[in-house]
A and B are shown apart, each in its own frame.
Chain A
């Protein structure tokens, strides 16, 4: 005899019978998000279909119709609707196609959010003394990075934070590594995140949203070198500088020391040239000053010279005048000597003057009794007119 049970009891019992976790592989269809909280989709294969339900919180990766997935969940008949569905706890993408789709979806989302914006990318330090590296210690990627760095540069300290770059723990460990570098004072001026090449599945951790956000949020600039030349990861886009390979990451963070040394020589040469040019310029300006000064001084000097020349001419002229005057004076002297009345007086002539000193040339000039002076060749005679014969000769 079958027991009679209520609907609630029936559903509860059914749920107990079908309880437990299952992994179901199928293709997603009718994917939709309700009220930003609930996710509904159908999982199907060629012959059958099952409803799936999940919360947005539990499913982090972007999903889309047509993706092939493996769903981890438990089947359940819902009390209120009586509908049967699988409550999904975890979804794993299956096959390159699904991964590629999920990758492109996340890339689009993060791009729209601005995580890959070019204008937020920071410049790397010129010559970091310490480099933080997030990599697997035994990986070829880390080996290549160190080898190239040793070829290029000396005296740098590499701080390796070892992480798994593949598998379950890799996401958590890479996030933890970024947290470590950003919260501990390691002195690292740049972080290098590297991994060798692989399939999209191998590189899953580097396309994980949380890891990409850790790269984006790092306070220390990040160089990301994942895979081979043609590989790309979302971490590449979120990093400050994308390196094509781990070796390329080494080339990006450190210059080549041979080239660097050549540039040092160039610096010295440049400084030396500057000084030499400076000296040449100063010499040229001294010459210029000298020329300017001498051309300024030349004018008054020229004037001086011509003044001196004039002076010399004047002197000669004056000398000439002077000698002519001297000759004139001498000849005049001679002339005067020849007409000197005293010489006439010496020959016996005399000069008579009245008492006023006037020369008496006629007897009429003196009256009887008037005194007069006779000037002789030697001495003078004073006399008085006794008789005046106003005409005629004395003798």
Chain B
């Protein structure tokens, strides 16, 4: 996670869920699995870092 602003939380979370779903399949290729595991672990670290460092913002809409 180089710059927080560029990090898309829900996209990354979706990617993680896709990886988890990928592992639900029976015919998982081991080599690809290890690659995906590494990707997943990185996504989790990034997601956690985001949650630990970000704050909520309040913007009032002008009408």
Contacts and interface: CB of A to CB of B under 8 A. Distances in A.
Interface residues of B, number: 33
B44 A279 contact: no
A275 B30 contact: yes
B58 A160 contact: yes
Contact of B58 (A146, A154, A180, A278): A146
Given A186-B61, A278-B28, A155 B44 contact: no
Contacts of A161: 60-61, 63
| Chain A interface mostly | helix
Q: Which of A160, A270, A274 has the most CB of B within 10 A?
A: A274
Interface string A253-280: 0000100110011011011101100110
B56 A129 contact: no
Given A265-B44, A270-B20, A154 B54 contact: yes
B48 A261 contact: yes
B54 to A, nearest CB: 3
B56 A278 contact: no
Interface in B15-63: 16-17, 19-20, 23-24, 28, 30, 33-34, 36-37, 40-41, 44, 47-48, 50-61, 63
Interface residues of A, number: 38
Contacts of A177: 63
B51 A275 contact: no
Contacts of B17: 267
A268 B41 contact: yes
A168 interface: no
A150 B56 contact: yes
Nearest to B27: A278
A278 B30 contact: yes
Contacts of A274: 23-24, 28, 33
Contacts of B58: 146, 157-158, 160
A64 interface: no
A383 B11 CA distance: 132
A271 B19 contact: yes
9 contacts: A127-B9, A127-B13, A149-B56, A157-B57, A160-B60, A161-B63, A264-B16, A275-B34, A282-B30
Interface of B: 9-10, 13, 16-17, 19-20, 23-24, 28, 30, 33-34, 36-37, 40-41, 44, 47-48, 50-61, 63
Interface of A: 125-129, 137, 146, 149-150, 153-162, 176-177, 180, 186, 257, 260-261, 264-265, 267-268, 270-272, 274-275, 278-279, 282
Given A149-B56, A153-B51, 15 more contacts: A127-B9, A128-B10, A137-B60, A154-B52, A156-B57, A157-B57, A160-B58, A160-B60, A176-B63, A177-B63, A260-B51, A271-B19, A274-B28, A274-B33, A275-B33
